[in-house]
Amino acid sequence: MDRKKISFKLAIIPVLFLIVSLFLTLQYWGGDPQIPIIASTIVAVLIAMLTGYSWNELREGIIETIEMSMGSILILAIIGMIIGTWILSGVVPTMIYYGLQILSPSFFLIATALICSVVSIATGSSWTTAGTVGIALIGIGQGLDIPLPVVAGAIISGSYFGDKMSPLSDTTNLAPAMAGSNLFEHIKHMLYTTAPSYIIALIIYGILGIKYANSTINTESINVILNGLTSQFTISPFLLLPPLLVIIMVFLKVPAIPGLIGGTILGGIFAFIFQGAGMTEIIKAAHYGFSSDTGVEAVDSLLNNGGLNNMMWTISLILCAMAFGGILEKSGMLVAIAEKILALANSTGSLILATILTCIATNILAGDQYLAIVIPGRMYKKIYDDKGLHPKNLSRTLEDGGTITSCLIPWNSGGAYMYTTLGVHPFAYAPYAFFNIINPVIAVLLGYSGFSIEKIEKES
């Protein structure tokens, strides 16, 4: 059968099917996103085969896409083990314990964003940040009676700012590689959109902090948590060493996966030294997560977390999303949809807007932030070149639209990870992830204004 170019009308069918099936399943049928995504993948496969693609080609597209996300999947699994062992060892309880005594509601949100920014810049990973200090900050926020969606929004804003600006970040390296720019000129160019977005976000968190400062701190509930932690764990400043050592390892350019495995091993060692845990308890915590049964709901809800098994739901969601994204890319459906958007991009501002919208759409449809950088990067590189725009404009826009919006979508690998790790649904924290919302808007505004849009002189 002769292969035909897939039209926009055909390409949009799986997308519409996905939107409708996700809405019905999540809102009315009480299901999870996996089955609607699989069903949408089947629809995409049928359309692709009707236009001349063979099953072997489409299967190859699925495998290639899943392979691209395999690093994220491995990190996700290891983070689950870290959380389990770090709770068992008392690392997370210690961070919560000291945090509750030091931080106050008035500056907690700003402190949360700043702490996560520093850790994320040092590690180059928003996921690692959320899975370590983020877990502790959620617990502290809960103890201070600050709504958890607001706390999660501050964690994510800080984590993604640091991830975006860190030369150690995989997405920060991937974006200039796709666009053809230099890593450090890419980071420098991002300051024009990232710095004002971050400052505005911090100001909003400061205003919210004033709001919560006026509320009465429930010292009784804080004392219940503190007593619950000390009754179950030995609390010691030495237990802050594992997260510090993980940050140092990554800062010294130890690859992420070995560094995180080292963090898991440290968690097991510290669990033995400080909590007297045996090998059976350590293995169970790493595999199944930590189980707290103090009878104090506030403490148990903080500590029942982690484990390899706890990440399997998220991993299955990523695999389903990658299969769908692989079919859309291999068959050319994503290109067909993007070309429709590009037809409206006449000016530099509209081109920036089209790039941002394509990145967001890829995050929604393909379910992964890496694809949201790679696919638009491939699609738009020549167009930016033809318009005489410096490649760093494209690399910056890929991050402004792709990297930081992934965590706002529940079925995206970023959103699914944050939901599993922080225990707050992406739709709940999204309105409070101010940096992630403001950054794409500022990118578009700068595109239309022309400010910081650098061009390259074409040789005559």
Q: At what angle do helices 148-165 and 434-449 cross, to 10 degrees?
A: 50
Locate the domains of the chain by residue range. 68-311
CA dihedral 379, 361, 350, 332 (to 10 degrees): 30
pLDDT on residue 460:
43
Bridge partners, residue 389, by sequence: 455
For 358, residues 6+ apart whose C-beta sits below 8 A from its C-beta are 338, 341, 375, 376, 379, 380, 401
Residues 354 and 445: their CA atoms lie apart, in Å, by: 13
Residues (pLDDT < 70) of the chain are 1-3, 122-123, 168, 214-221, 250-251, 298, 302, 457-460
The answer to whether 285 and 87 are in contact (CB under 8 A) is yes
- Classify the phi-psi angles of 380: left when phi > 0, otherwise alpha if psi is within -120 to 50, otherwise beta: alpha
| Element containing residue 284 per DSSP (H, E) | helix 279-288
Nearest CA to 306 among 318, 317, 292, 290?
Answer: 290
3-state secondary structure (DSSP) of residue 402: helix
Per-residue pLDDT of 241-287, as tens digits, reads 988 887 787 667 777 788 889 889 999 999 999 999 999 999 999 99
pLDDT on residue 54:
93
**pTM for the structure as a whole:** 0.72
Per-residue pLDDT of 413-435, as tens digits, reads 889 889 988 999 999 999 999 99
Nearest CA to 285 among 73, 134, 98, 90?
Answer: 90
The answer to whether 433 and 418 are in contact (CB under 8 A) is no
pLDDT on residue 219:
64
Residues 23 and 175: their CA atoms lie apart, in Å, by: 32
Nearest CA to 164 among 193, 135, 206, 200?
Answer: 193
pLDDT on residue 135:
83
